[in-house]
């Protein structure tokens, strides 16, 4: 029986998920704070953790790092609200398996949990796309979160022309792009189209590597090199020997490790921690970042010589909001993949739903689109995705953005005054948006008319 731990400060959410998942034959426990959740993880070693992004004592990014440090094999699924989508995508980059948005749909959670349990567990924040045959030779087994969608827009065509040009070479490639734009997928595509395609592809998120052991993870160590080094360990460069090493979030490397990386790139040799001899390696390096590394260089946080060594060939991935010409094709692709995952037969989107997709900003990029489509496919009871199957942030983006910015630039004095001011601003904004139609305003704010009238009177809005 697989073990699941729910971490959420909302007790109703914990009890709902515990009741539902227990009926599906899972062993379920819950915690209402990050610290209590981490204690239970040590005692119980769950297979999957469902963790709310905003806990009273920690945020989701802190929780993922803490959980992965204790046990890298635990799959973490983040539960998030609309305003956290970009952060949720960052959570994926530092080790989360997936994220689901509120309101929580038990059947959606169940599908994601099954996928997490069926996914081969990564070892120490690395995804290896290799296995061993009987002779001990490496054999490629490609495993990517979602397949390549080339797109038909002009930016997509230009991008794939560049990929086709650089793939057969051994040039170091720097991939720039926001979270969720498909940097790892692009790196995998370059590897699969290269002469190294029958050798390992190793993907490492530098942002998920604890600074104190990053050198050991990248370059390896000898037994006894430091406290806790009980046996020799191969680093990621050795694991990728002959193939491709993908270093995501390269800007997170410490200065010391930047120096070591530069040496490896120049001399094609690594030295394990605690060792006195070098090991020759033949590795193609691809790096990615969503930061402006040039700024880091000018501020002295990233070595200039390493930057130019890594920037032999640059690829820039545009955000989805700037690739609307590919959106329909992406939607069709994700409907097909969701049909396969969920055993559904959705044919497509209604014109109204597709229009909503076209006007939405997609802060989480392709990954967010994939999740929205999967959720809509799950909700649809006929063969078409309609507007009612879409989340509120897509149906009413202006309202959701106004909610997000309600407390910006507010002077916070005490909690009661803050809540009252947020309520007053929310009611006033919604009244203006509905041309002071109180019934419509009450519907949007999900309160009855009497409650709305009382609050308007209390805040002097009547």
Q: What pLDDT, on the 0 to 100 scale, is given for residue 451?
A: 82
Cis peptide before 103 (omega within 30 of 0): yes
**Rounded distance between C-alpha atoms, residue 29 and residue 6, angstroms:** 6
Domains of the chain with bracketed CATH: 3-118 (3.40.50.2300), 126-316 (3.40.50.300), 320-398 (1.10.8.60), 405-458 (1.10.10)
Q: What pLDDT, on the 0 to 100 scale, is given for residue 141?
A: 31
Per-residue pLDDT band at 450 (split at 50, 70, 90): confident
Q: Is the pLDDT of residue 126 over 50?
A: no
Residue found by looking up tokens 């993908």 in the block: 246
Least confident of 156-170, 343-357, 396-410, 441-455: 396-410
CA-wise closest residue to 361 among 60, 61, 78, 86: 86
Kindly tell me the sign of the dihedral angle through the C-alpha atoms of 290, 170, 247, 118.
positive
In this predicted model, what pLDDT tens digit does every residue of 186-230 receive, in sequence order?
Answer: 999 999 999 999 999 999 888 777 777 788 889 988 888 887 778
Q: Is the pLDDT of residue 125 over 50?
A: no
Is residue 4 within 8 A of residue 47, CB to CB? The reply is yes
Q: Is the pLDDT of residue 178 over 60?
A: yes
Q: What pLDDT, on the 0 to 100 scale, is given for residue 416?
A: 64
In this predicted model, what pLDDT tens digit does every residue of 391-411 receive, in sequence order?
Answer: 887 887 765 555 555 545 555
User: What is the mean pLDDT of the segment spanning 345-352?
Assistant: 94
Q: Is the pLDDT of residue 168 over 50?
A: yes
Distance of CA 429 to the CA centre of its chain: 32
In this predicted model, what pLDDT tens digit does every residue of 269-298 receive, in sequence order?
Answer: 999 888 888 999 999 999 998 777 888 888
Q: What pLDDT, on the 0 to 100 scale, is given for residue 93?
A: 75
**Rounded distance between C-alpha atoms, residue 30 and residue 39, angstroms:** 11
- Other C-beta atoms closer than 10 Å to the C-beta of 197 total 15
Q: Is the pLDDT of residue 427 over 90?
A: no
Residue found by looking up tokens 């879409």 in the block: 390
- Other C-beta atoms closer than 10 Å to the C-beta of 422 total 14
User: What is the mean pLDDT of the segment spanning 52-66?
Assistant: 88
- Which residues sit opposite 75 in a β-bridge? 48
In this predicted model, what pLDDT tens digit does every residue of 65-101 receive, in sequence order?
Answer: 889 888 888 999 999 876 677 777 778 877 889 888 8
**Rounded distance between C-alpha atoms, residue 444 and residue 428, angstroms:** 12
Least confident of 107-111, 123-127, 443-447: 123-127
Is residue 414 within 8 A of residue 407, CB to CB? The reply is no
Mean model confidence pLDDT for the chain: 84
């Amino acid at each position: 029986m697989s073990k699941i731990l729910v971490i959420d400060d909302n007790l109703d959410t914990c009890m709902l998920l515990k009741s539902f998942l227990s009926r599906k034959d899972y062993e379920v426990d819950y915690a209402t704070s990050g610290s209590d959740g981490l204690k239970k993880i040590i005692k119980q070693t769950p297979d999957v953790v469902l963790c709310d992004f905003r806990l009273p004592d920690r945020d989701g990014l802190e929780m993922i790092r803490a959980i992965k440090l204790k046990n890298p094999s635990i799959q973490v699924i983040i539960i998030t609200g609309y305003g956290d989508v970009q952060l949720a995508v960052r959570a994926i980059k530092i080790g989360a398996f997936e994220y689901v948005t509120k309101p929580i749909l038990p059947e959606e959670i169940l599908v994601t949990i099954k996928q997490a349990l069926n996914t081969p567990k990564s070892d120490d924040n690395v995804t290896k796309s290799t296995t061993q045959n009987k002779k001990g030779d490496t054999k490629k087994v490609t495993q990517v979160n979602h397949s390549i969608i080339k797109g038909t827009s002009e930016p997509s065509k230009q991008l794939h022309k560049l990929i086709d040009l650089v793939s057969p070479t051994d040039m170091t490639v720097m991939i720039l792009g926001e979270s969720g734009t498909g940097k790892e997928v692009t790196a995998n595509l370059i590897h699969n189209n290269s002469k190294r395609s029958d050798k390992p592809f190793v993907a490492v998120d530098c942002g998920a590597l604890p600074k104190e052991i990053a050198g050991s993870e990248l370059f390896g160590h000898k037994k006894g090199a430091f406290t806790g080094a009980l046996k020799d360990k191969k680093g990621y460069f050795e694991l990728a020997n002959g193939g491709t090493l993908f270093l995501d979030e390269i800007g997170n490397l410490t200065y010391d490790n930047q120096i070591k990386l530069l040496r490896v790139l120049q001399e094609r040799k690594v030295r394990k921690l605690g060792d006195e001899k070098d090991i020759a390696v033949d590795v193609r390096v691809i790096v990615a970042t969503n930061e402006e590394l040039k700024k880091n260089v000018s501020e002295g946080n990233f070595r200039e010589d390493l930057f130019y060594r890594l920037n032999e060939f640059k690829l820039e991935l545009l955000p989805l909001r700037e690739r609307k010409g590919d959106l329909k094709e992406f939607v069709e692709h994700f409907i097909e993949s969701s049909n396969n995952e969920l055993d559904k037969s959705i044919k497509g989107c209604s014109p109204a739903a597709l229009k909503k997709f076209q006007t939405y900003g997609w802060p989480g990029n392709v990954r967010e689109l994939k999740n929205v489509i999967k959720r809509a496919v799950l909700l649809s009871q006929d063969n078409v995705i309609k507007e009612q199957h879409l989340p509120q942030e897509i149906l009413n983006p202006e309202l959701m953005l106004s909610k997000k910015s309600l407390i910006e630039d507010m002077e916070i004095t005490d909690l009661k005054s803050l809540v009252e001011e947020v309520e007053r601003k929310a009611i006033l904004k919604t009244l203006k948006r509905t041309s002071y139609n109180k019934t419509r305003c009450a519907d949007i704010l999900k309160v009855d008319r009497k409650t709305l009238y009382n609050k308007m009177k209390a805040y002097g809005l009547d």
